[in-house]
Structure 1
Amino acid sequence: MTTTDTSSVISISGVHRRYGSGRTSFSAVRGVDLAVRRGELFALLGTNGAGKTSLLEVVEGIAPPSAGTVTVLGSDPYRERHLVRPRTGIMLQEAGFPSDLTTVETARMWHGTLGAPMAAEAALDLVGLGQRARVQVKSLSGGERRRLDLALAIMGRPEILFLDEPTTGLDPQSRRDAWELVRNLLEAGTTVVLTTHYLEEAEELADRLAIMHAGEVVRAGTVEQIVAGEPARIRYRTTAGDLADPRTLHGLPSLLTAARSRSGVVELESRDLQATLTALLERANAAGELLTNLEASHASLERAFLAVANEDADDVARTPEPAAA
């Protein structure tokens, strides 16, 4: 995806968000600095309890920061909400719809709160709910309710669209359809801020992303930049010969680590997958050794995310900070 304007439409500087006061206060967000450029999709990922929802609520103007500053489209989203809210669309993790209204009645009700929206029926068609327009909300499936959430979020033609776990509950085809809709919005110039637990979704859609852990942004950049520091992996089984003994493998080019599990799986980590794998296969062929269940994979966002998740930040997360003055 390409962007024609690299100016920041969201600027986050030194943001903290604390709950409680004094010694019992808890810092959910700890000094975050981020910028989101016009026309890009920025994905915010995080481990459980990382603080991404707390941060997103500040950016959306739902709550003020305890410290630091946030500007959205040049304004404070909390203090100047009347300037920001008409230009943004928000899809929350859960929305409370009157269950007895039909899908189209709900859309028309929301339509009446917006300044220059698209037609309610058009928004429903965009998310594939046109044929469910006369169905009561309480009869919609969980995935259909998520699509209704999305329809309402895009109805006002927002400049910035906040999507909080937008495809939870969707079947694979509906998820792909939602991705295509998001791509179309990006091509039309909408800026999108996405939170998701589906790492494939972030890899597929994001121009840039950040990973939060224990209230801090620990990695940020493009997918390629974030995974660049993670090793490639090779796994295989062999029952005999030198290639079953990790101690004999340390001469392989670009090899970082070699280990063998109790079940007999040999696992290698490499800085250069092609170099290590080529040398490994040459050694196996020369020795007449058979490598079974051979798997080789480059670094991935999932592996980078798991590396963050496995970092021990318990002490940091439990240390109370002084309450804001």
Structure 2
Amino acid sequence: MKKSRNFFRVGFLALTLALVLFLTGCTNGLTDTTNDIIDEGLNDIVGTADDAGVFETLLAAAEEAGLVDALKAEGPLTVFAPNDKAFEDFLNAMEMEASELLADPRLANVLKYHVVPGKVMSTDLSDGMKADTLLNPQQIEISINEGVFLNEDIEVITPDVEASNGVIHVIDGVLWPADIVETAVANGFDTLVTAVVTADLVEALQGPGLFTVFAPINEAFDALPSGVLEELLDNPEDLADVLLFHVVSGQVMAETVVGLDGQEVETLLGETIEVTIEDGKVFINDSEVIITDIQTLNGVIHVIDRVLLPQD
């Protein structure tokens, strides 16, 4: 009889375990804001989002921005995914139509700001943590206070939706990265920022276009001949010309700049700058590019060690 009781006990435990696993599987999905996702071998991030049925705007944006293949790649990646309600609220706040968002040249950068390299589960997040994104070096700030929040006010409403190439965390808002001016402020380009404000170019450099800025370090302004900087600051129109001589239309990443060796590139001033490569170093006219690919909402910053002057 002891053998029978042991057999009954083992059978009962097995049945209980099976029932627990079944119930866990039934609840291992999204909340009612995202519908249920059934884990059947795990789809990739794009397929998982598509199966959920509440990421239509996000998927349309990824398609328009040319990021679908990247989100279907091996990864792993972590996507903080705004659902359709989040996009609806965002568009209302921005007084934008969905079609305007999809046509916005900044769209790819906005989406890249929602993607973190690697697979980061909710248990990996901690209060005060800063997560790197594909829009390098822009980061997402994590805070934990009766929930997980991104950049203080966007909440993770459904965490840990696993995919074959990463994980999705559903969020209730759209993350908006820092633009060129905000990034310059945050990275200590004090003299450049002062010049931009004085020349009344802040609004232009925060606009919806994509720009490439060759940004002189503070020491570059200090190295100008005596009196030149002061004279420029006293003459905003001349100062604006100098600053526009540092800006190129479009987002030109470092790998593209390297391919422009010996070529001239038109600036927003209408005059050209020359790209040359010597001993593996990249020069814009006579200024060396010392840091590359600081990505922002509306373009990219490359740091240079001398101020470019149009008469050069």
TM interval, short-chain normalised = under 0.3
Normalised TM-score (structure 1): 0.23
Higher relative contact order (CA 8 A, sep 6+): 1
Structure (1 or 2) with the larger CA radius of gyration? 2
